[in-house]
Amino acid sequence: MSDLKTQFDTAVANSKSLSERPDNSTLLKIYGLYKQATVGDNTDKKPGFSDMVGRAKWEAWDSFKGTEKVDAMQQYVDLIESLS
């Protein structure tokens, strides 16, 4: 687990310096995996229609509901590595 945590922390740092900005759907996937890996299942109230960005982020995170934190960490690491 500690090895995966180290890889995850490195991937988080690397995500801030990607050579190319990912498209919005990939950014939302990165966000959702990060939140699932660090917080767990989304229990926040869904934002209203007027908050389109907040709603998209909420839906991205909620799409990973039920995913174990370690699985979300590994998916996050794999995704960031594929974008590097």
The CATH number given to whatever domain includes residue 20 is 1.20.80.10
Task: Tell me the per-residue pLDDT of 35-82, one tens digit each, with 9 for 90 and over.
Answer: 999 999 999 999 999 999 999 999 999 999 999 999 999 999 999 999
pLDDT at residue 84, as a whole number: 84
Confidence of residue 1 (pLDDT cuts 50, 70, 90): low
- Spatial distance between the Cα atoms of 50 and 73, rounded to a whole number of angstroms: 31
Number of domains in the chain: 1
Q: What is the domain range of residue 42?
A: 2-83
pLDDT at residue 26, as a whole number: 95
46: DSSP letter? P
φ, ψ of residue 50 to 5 degrees: the values are -70, -20
- Spatial distance between the Cα atoms of 33 and 35, rounded to a whole number of angstroms: 5
Closest C-alpha among 37, 44, 42 to residue 68: 37
Q: Give Rg (Cα) of the chain.
A: 13
Q: Is the pLDDT of residue 2 over 80?
A: no
pTM greater than 0.85 (yes/no): yes
